[in-house]
Amino acid sequence: MSWIDRHASNHNVQLAAVALISGIAVAGTIFSVQAIRRKERIDELKASIPELSEDHKADLLNEFGAPSTHTPSQPQQIPSYIPPLISTNTAQEDAQSARLSSLALSGSYDPTLIDEQLTRTSSFLGPDRFARLRKSFIVVVGLGGVGSHCVSALARSGVSKIRLVDFDQVTLSSLNRHAVATLSDVGTPKVDCVKKQLRGVVPWVDWECWNEVWKVERAGVLLGASAEGRDAGKQPDYVVDAIDNIDSKVALLKYCHENGIKVVSSMGAGCKSDPTKISVGDISASVEDPLSRVTRRRLRAVGVAEGIPVVYSIEKPGPGKAQLLPLPEEEFQKGSVNELSVLPDFRARILPVLGTMPAVFGYAVANFLVMEITGYPHDMAAGKAREKMYDAILSNLQGREEQMARFEGQDPLGLRLPVTKEDVGYLVEEVYKGKSVVSGLPTRLTLVRWRRPDSGFKIMEEFEGQKITELELNELVCMTKEEACRHAKKVLKDRKSVEEVYNVNIVNMVKQRQEEDKVYHRYR
């Protein structure tokens, strides 16, 4: 008997064969049913798409490949084939959010609900400051990782009107750092995504969405007064620059600076990993940030050297840390690299970004705005890595002491000051918070004696011909250079008292700062 005959007559083999044939038959039946159902769904989907008519119009895509209109006001009909536990609920939530937003913007939303939702912020700021925040109008240009987190924080804090400006769409790579985008938002304009997602959280916010690139030619509109909504005609209180393109960033900041528009700018979060190194300060002081360095140099070339608050990181690059990824050599060989970018002059290379860092930058910007708009006391951390400024202040102080020595008829040759660069940094940053005691300005700072010494300016002879002046750190105050010159003439030379020269608020402020310094001096 052959091998096949022996096994074919085996009962177990016969059972296995029957099971196999039955399985194949069942699988074939299932696949056939699934194919039929798939075809039915496709036919149903095609049938659900209405023909173009007066009742159903289709808008052309804009030049960036995005819809040219905003999100439809009417909720979309949900085809029956969509799984009810996912897409149907999502669409229903969007429709519900749209309805709540419509009620809130029309004044029909219960104001006590808004008060309850914002009670933590209002109790922190107090009624007057909170009222200023609620009435504010912010323009945010750029809705990537930084901009989206900034917008989310502002809206949740109570800002009532926000204009969103961005040409881009949500991509899969956006989801590692975007504040609100989901998988279902991929391919949609960022401005519409942010509005759709956040109106489910803060339905009372009045949104203006501009799905376009910021250009100087459109600046009057994009950064101008509100053209719609309940606050039509209101000028923005602040503009947020969250753009990562140098040309657009410089153009935006230059326009705001020249037109007196308050603006705060976020520098680069790419390749950064240490949130403790993030600072808020004047752009003239920002260091260790390639985007900030290039932006600052470009602005200086067009006459803007300072006066723009920025969020930046002083984290130093180093071995093993992320860097801008280069394009493969074969891409250069293909021709113009510019053709690989989203738009002309936009970055084509990949910028490594740790998803947490843009969020920290965005919240730092939002926090700064809340403090500024409400007038809540806050300090800009402008004293980090400003050694050159401290050197200049020390040199200026040296020159003024020599001048006063000559004025008193003494020889200042070889005069030394009992003050170091570290002392200067401590006085400017820790005691006087990086601002002038006279005007509150944070720029062109120097140190000067507050009062004329009762015994005049004395020079003590030290060994080997060295001279040192009698000067205590607590005698010095922080002013701008112009203010210090006037102070030296009136107080130090003309012998007027500070009470004669300054109002009581300034005199008391200096006294308070000096008393505080005495308490902390023992720790230095």
Does residue 32 or residue 236 have the better pLDDT?
Answer: 236
Q: From residue 522, how far is each of 10, 172, 364, 372, 439 by CA, in Å?
A: 99, 55, 33, 34, 29
CA angle centred on 470, ends 467 and 473, rounded to 5°: 120
Q: Is 320 exposed, middle or buried (0-12, 13-18, 19+ CB in 10 A)?
A: exposed
DSSP string covering 287-304, please?
-S-HHHHHHHHHHHHTT-
CA 106 vs. chain centroid, Å, equals 31
**Amino acid letter, residue 475:** E
3-class DSSP state of 266: strand
Residue ranges in 61-198 assigned as alpha helix (H) = 89-105, 111-117, 119-125, 127-134, 145-157, 190-198
pLDDT at position 162 over 70 = yes
List, in sequence order, every residue forming a beta bridge with 161; answer none if it has no partner: 137, 206
Q: What is the rounded distance in angstroms from the CA atom of residue 161 to the CA atom of residue 144?
A: 19
Q: Tell me, what's the pLDDT at 138?
A: 97
Does residue 523 register a pLDDT over 50?
Answer: no
The dihedrals phi and psi of 406, each to the nearest 5 degrees, come to -65, -40
Q: How far apart (Å, rounded) are the C-alpha atoms in residues 38 and 46?
A: 12
Coil, strand or helix at 397: helix
- Give 113-116 contacts, CB < 8 A, sequence gap 24+: 114/204
Question: Structural domains in the chain?
Answer: 84-374 (3.40.50.720), 387-521 (no CATH)
The model's pLDDT over 190-214, given as tens digits with 9 standing for 90+, comes to 999 999 999 888 988 999 999 999 8
Looking at residue 65, what is its pLDDT? 54
Cα-Cα end-to-end distance for the chain: 104
DSSP 159: -
Instruction: Give me the mean pLDDT over the 111-137 stretch.
Output: 93
Measured distance CA(384)–CA(399) in Å, rounded? 25
Instruction: Tell how many helices (H) and how many strands (E) occur in the chain.
Output: 18, 12
Q: What are phi and psi of 484, to 5 degrees?
A: -65, -35
Q: Write out pLDDT tens, residues 91-107.
A: 666 666 666 666 666 66
For 263-315, write each residue's pLDDT tens digit.
Answer: 999 988 777 888 888 888 888 777 666 667 678 767 765 767 678 999 988 87
The amino acid that residue 120 corresponds to is R
Lookup: tokens for 5: 């005959």
Contact predicate 358/313, CB 8 Å: no
pLDDT at 426: 76
Q: What are phi and psi of 234, to 5 degrees?
A: -75, 135
pLDDT band of residue 84 (cuts 50, 70, 90) is very low
Per-residue pLDDT, averaged over 5-27, amounts to 66
From the number of C-beta atoms within 10 Å of its C-beta (0-12, 13-18, 19+), residue 32 rates as exposed
Q: Which residue has the higher pLDDT, 321 or 1?
A: 321
Q: How far apart are CA 279 and CA 382, in angstroms?
A: 8
pLDDT over 90 at 420, yes or no: no
Q: Which carries the bigger pLDDT value, residue 75 or residue 142?
A: 142
Amino acid code (one letter) for 226: S
What global pTM score does this model have? 0.57
CA distances from 452 to 409, 490, 518 (A): 16, 10, 20
Q: How confident is the model at residue 150 (pLDDT cuts 50, 70, 90)?
A: very high
Confidence band, pLDDT 50/70/90 cuts, at residue 510:
very high
